[in-house]
Structure 1
Amino acid sequence: MRPVHKIAVSAAFSAALLVSGAGAAMAAAPHPAPAKEHTAAALIQPISSTRTPAAVIQPNAFVTMTDQVTAKVHAQHPHAALVAVHGRASHATKDVNDITQWRYVFTDEDSSGHQQVVVATVDAHTSAITVKTPRATHHHRDAEALKPVAMTPQSADQLLQQWLGQHPSYGTTFTSVTLRQSASGDAAFVFTVKAPNGATHRIAVDTATHQVTVLR
């Protein structure tokens, strides 16, 4: 197993994108105390890779992107906690570096003490960050804040490709990936994989155990 190199990340990613810097714990109502900040190094520890990453999203760039997203969200929602990171590619791919859009999902409390969802979208090509608060009820509202992870999307992609090579019936390409807390208590990268027969499978890579599991 290759050595793990620590890289700085930010408070919003203790929650888990995707995925990289991360976040503070969920705020308590009605007047949440400021969340304890964590350094990036304590949250994300990218694993070195022999692959040549694309220019769009190298490991360091992902960490930097997450820090920037967290800073922008916290400027408007100081106590928001990161609960998920969604990455979507414009086409089926075998390479996570082909993802062109990342969505960072945070939970926070509004001025009335009600929980709300804050979504920050990043265009991987332009690096433009857009922060919105959806009005509709969102299934992330009760999601658990992401915990520190020791894996990057690139490392999860490598583990997935190794597993798919041993299980060809599941296909070889994916269209999206989500970083979220799993039932086991560890964060996991969940890939949406397209099988040769047209079926779609959700395959999780556990960030702590590196175990690959097909979700039912």
Structure 2
Amino acid sequence: MQTEAGTTLTPEPDHATGAAAPTRHRPRLFWVVIVVAVVWLALDQVTKYLAEQHLTQGDPIPLVGGLLQLRLIYNSGAAFSLATGATGLLTILAVSVVVYIIWSARRLGSLGWAWGLGLLLGGATGNLTDRLFRPPNFGEGHVVDFLALPNFPVFNVADMGITAAAILIGWQALRGVSPDGSRSGGDAADERRPDPADD
């Protein structure tokens, strides 16, 4: 069922009465996911381009008193240089993640989840773009990393988006907020209450 305001209501079981209770799905939140993802993807690709234009492998540039370094490397693994050498498998996994996020975004009812999934989609797509279109081969390209902290793997803006997404999604889960905006725990009325961040 869809309201005049464009909010889709999907029946859910009412734990108190057994009757169906509506959960709000907001079509506009799909576009929040897409816009956040596109902006983050653009930021990721622009910074990678600048890194390649102004940095040289093996010649790091210290910033913030050496706390942060600009250090250009080409990573065949996942975020933060994990699973190095498994680029083909990571490409397939990234494509699957992107497709799943886009499919899930159609039924969101929580702004917090929308931001989290948008950052995750933007980060995953940023690194996937490198794997698809950079050397050595299509689907096996190496990801551009250029940000380095002490005792920490070199990373990029896409990795930052993935990390921020994990924090946001984890926070929503700890609050008991489901992707559709409903809340777990408490009485039945609380479980059907939408995420306050949407108001």
Normalising by structure 2, we get a TM-score of: 0.26
Q: Indicate the structure whose relative CO is greater, using CA pairs within 8 Å and at least 6 residues apart.
A: 2
Which has more helix, going by share of residues? Answer: 2
User: Under a length normalisation based on structure 1, what TM-score does the superposition of the two structures give?
Assistant: 0.24
The structure that is strand-richer by fraction is 1
